[in-house]
Structure 1
Amino acid sequence: MTWALRIVVAVALLGSALTHYLLWQDGFKDIDIIGPLFLVNVVAGVVIAIAMVRWSHWLVELLAIGFGAVTLGGYLISLTVGLFGVREQFQTQAEVWAMVTEVVCIVLGAVLLIRRPNLVGTVRGDLQKVLKRGAGRSQ
């Protein structure tokens, strides 16, 4: 079941990345700030999708949640008050598809994270390892 969820999240990440790439090609590339951000979204979606199927780590699940939340949050801001001068109107299939894929990233990424056994202990152990490495370098 876990692998099936990971595949679905990876497909959702790729779906969002593809949608943003197609929108970038359709004219968003000519918009300052938003155009480059769409390309960042494309690259991030592909990288996180690959990591989702290659590395079973809580950090990848957290990245998928963050990717979906930041992308969806940016879109919702552009729908309401505008984002860097761009104001969207929610009228295309691409917008619907992107919202669906981003919600899948958030919800199923959270399901994967929550289902992880001993999540708190694992995160704590990982953070302690990082801190020990950092402390060793500063001496």
Structure 2
Amino acid sequence: MDAPTPKVPAAHGRPAVAPSWVWRSLAAAGVVVSALVHLVLWTRGYDDIPLVGPLFLVNAISGVVLAVLLLTWRHWLPLVGGIIFGAATLLAFVASATSDLLGITTQVVGTTELVAAAAELVAVVASTIALVREQAR
């Protein structure tokens, strides 16, 4: 006869899942990776593009600030910020890949584009999960 499978401890009858600080950490990682990609692109010529260059720099700075807030301020506002940051940045990328957004057309196939898109998706999903878990308490 097979040995019984050990059960993972459950909290209040629910299966154990990652604590919200894990989700906050993932959200912060997604935000900061997206911010770093935008900073790298800004230093590689985007700084010369009117309007778009400054927006890339604002994205990079605000992403680093938001990542710090996600890790240090246990309030729902940074989580909403993570959702908005990730979604807005991802939507702007999709818009620039499918049309001429602010005079910029980008491709979806580059390494930096794929890394940024994945990071922004992680930021949205992880921020949402952390927000739902923390509001459920």
What interval of TM-score do these two structures reach, taking the shorter chain for normalisation? 0.7 to 0.9
Mapped to 2, the partners of 1:59 and 1:89 lie a distance apart of 32
Tell me how many residue pairs correspond in the alignment: 119
- Map residues 36-75 of structure 1 onto 2, 5 A cutoff: 36-75=54-93
Q: Secondary structure at the match of 1:117?
A: helix
Instruction: Specify the alignment match of 1:106 in structure 2.
Output: 124
The farther-off stretch of 109-118 and 91-100 is 109-118
Pairwise CA distance, 1:5: 1.4
* Bigger mean CA offset, 40-49 vs 5-14: 5-14
Q: Return the offset for 1:118.
A: 4.8
Output the amino acid matched with 1:6: R
What is residue 96 of structure 2 aligned with on the other side? 78
Bigger RCO (CA 8 Å, 6+ sep): 2
Ranges of 4+ aligned residues in structure 1 off by more than 4 Å: none
Aligned AA for 2:83? I
User: Is contact 2:35-2:59 (8 Å) kept?
Assistant: yes
Runs of at least 5 residues in structure 2 that lack an aligned partner in the other structure: 1-18
**2:27·2:82 contact (CA, 8 Å) conserved in 1?**
yes
Superposed, 1:1-139 pairs within 5 Å as 1-118=19-136
Long gaps (5+) in structure 1: 120-139
C-alpha separation between the residues in 2 aligned to 1:9 and 1:111? 9
Cα distance, 1:112 vs structure 2: 0.9
How much has 1:115 moved relative to structure 2?
1.2
Compute the displacement of 1:81 (Å): 1.2
TM-score w.r.t. length of structure 2: 0.83
| Percent identity over paired residues | 38
Which has more radius of gyration? 2
The superposition leaves residues 51-93 of structure 1 with CA deviations (integer Å, 9 ceiling, x where unpaired) of 0111011111000000001100111110111211101111210
